[in-house]
Structure 1
């Protein structure tokens, strides 16, 4: 639509809204507040999860805070998460049992899924726009234990 709506178009919109039981005020008042930043929301989720979950995910939430503290939860995309996974894998501490950072990547994605699952439950982020759910976890490597 390039110009102002015609009277017929306005009447049609009013008719549709009337049949749905929605008023113009409902549309104006339905603006949702912006999603919180990671720095605001991670402590909320950390307080809501069990001690074991907090111990497992806190290192990864801290890395998210290092990178995205002042960014809104709704401003991240699956590509941003993949980029953070690659950053974590590239900067990991190499130990004798390190397996190219696959476990770190898997745990980071699980920590973000937990965070976004709480955000969806709190209606801060729409379930369809949950970026963590769209990022696949890396495939597990076969065990290197031998008999």
Structure 2
């Protein structure tokens, strides 16, 4: 059994992080000590590691909570349910990558068009002009 500080140290997170997960329903202590301290077991340790790995992959807390619920009752769920969650996240990431690619291309285009001369004052800067034109087209 672990106290909250010991579990936090094992997972390389803060006690506040564990309290946050508990408050948001991602973590349930396995019990309380006679003094009222939260107690955690190896299942809780594995659960925190699962949460941290899912966060590394960009999953939101609600998605992680859904995956944890499926994991706890795995025999009542299918792999298709789990895959639907990750596929949805992949679709969102693909959309963001496409948007960022478009932004990068537009920014590179106006950056490349700028002479960048130190001698020339910014009133003639093609980047400022391009941004102003984009704003006018937006309105």
Shorter-chain TM-score bucket reads under 0.3
> So what's the TM-score if we normalise by structure 2?
0.25
Higher helix fraction: Structure 1 or Structure 2? 2
From the CA coordinates, give the structure whose radius of gyration is larger.
2
RCO (CA 8 Å, sep 6+): is it higher in 1 or 2?
Answer: 1
